[in-house]
Amino acid sequence: MSWDTEEKSVLLKEDGLERKIEKAEQKAKRVKVEIEKAEQEVKREIQMSETTIVGILLALVGGFLDAYTYLCRGKVFANAQTGNIVLFGIKLSEGDWRGGFYYCLPILAFAVGVILSERIRSKFGHQKQFHWRQMIILSEILILLATLLVPRGDWDMIANIMVSFVCSLQVQSFRKFDGYACATTMCTGNLRSGTEHLNKYLNTKSKASLKACIHYYRIILFFIVGAFLGAVLTNGLGVKAIVLACVGLLLVFFLMFRREAKSLGVC
């Protein structure tokens, strides 16, 4: 009898210990959920140059410039270089070396812009008084204003090279907004990423995937708005419409005097 009583006592103790462990695990899970909620509600400090508002403004400028070069500078999309690379290959296949060189120039300008952007970041990235990305924005404004001096017609390629150079500076220097890798001068990568996150949300109902999806599609939407404005204003103002793209860049420049901004958790 004493053995049975002792065995029951041990079993009761083990059962009680298991219940305590189970309760502790449940409590830990609740604490983890509360911590995750708190982290989502806490406003993050991020660089102003990586905020959504800057991404939206740059996407507006990106769409504007594509519409501008297409309508005003020889029906060319100067932001991305895929088309120029394809045309470069076609000209080479036709034995048209001069034509190949013609399409090679904006490609080289884009590459030089990427290198220059990295050099500026490397040399001035630690400055506190003046952000290195502000130097990039100022460079973009000055180059775009210089295109006003380039006549339409035979000289359009020079203007397109200058715009390609500006876009390479922008796409290399501004690559992340609110934590998401993103481009503001082209849409293919954004469309891929946004649709990927949309598919994840449809499968898992993840709020994080929905947030990312909205972020990418919003950048695309403002790129389209920029293209719309670029088309309307270029048809009305011609070459001078480029000044309005500079106004958008100037807004970005002054916004970046605020070194940090609160991310509201809204992509």
Non-local CB neighbours of 74 within 8 Å, separated by 6+ positions: 156, 157, 160
Q: Is there a domain that residue 113 lies in?
A: yes
Question: Looking at the domain assignment, is residue 38 inside a domain?
Answer: no
The count of domains in the chain is 1
Q: Which tokens hold the place of 208?
A: 């994080």
- Higher pLDDT residue, 96 or 23? 96
Residue type, 71: L
Task: Decide if pLDDT at 11 tops 60.
Answer: no
Domain CATH code at residue 61: 1.20.1250
Contact, 116 vs 169, CB < 8 A? yes
For the four alpha carbons of 248, 254, 259 and 263, in that order, the dihedral sign comes to negative
Domain range spanning residue 69? 48-262
Helices 207-237 and 188-204: angle between axes, nearest 10 degrees: 150
Q: What is the mean pLDDT of residues 253-258?
A: 89
Nearest-angstrom CA–CA distance, 200 and 162? 39
In this predicted structure, the answer to whether residue 9 has a pLDDT above a threshold of 80 is no
- List, for residues 191-250, the tens digit of each pLDDT value: 999 999 999 999 999 999 999 999 999 999 999 999 999 999 999 999 999 999 999 999
**CA gap 155, 236 in Å, rounded:** 21
Q: Is the pLDDT of residue 41 over 50?
A: no
pLDDT score recorded for residue 33: 63
Is 9 among the domain residues? no
Distance CA 13, CA 19 (A): 10
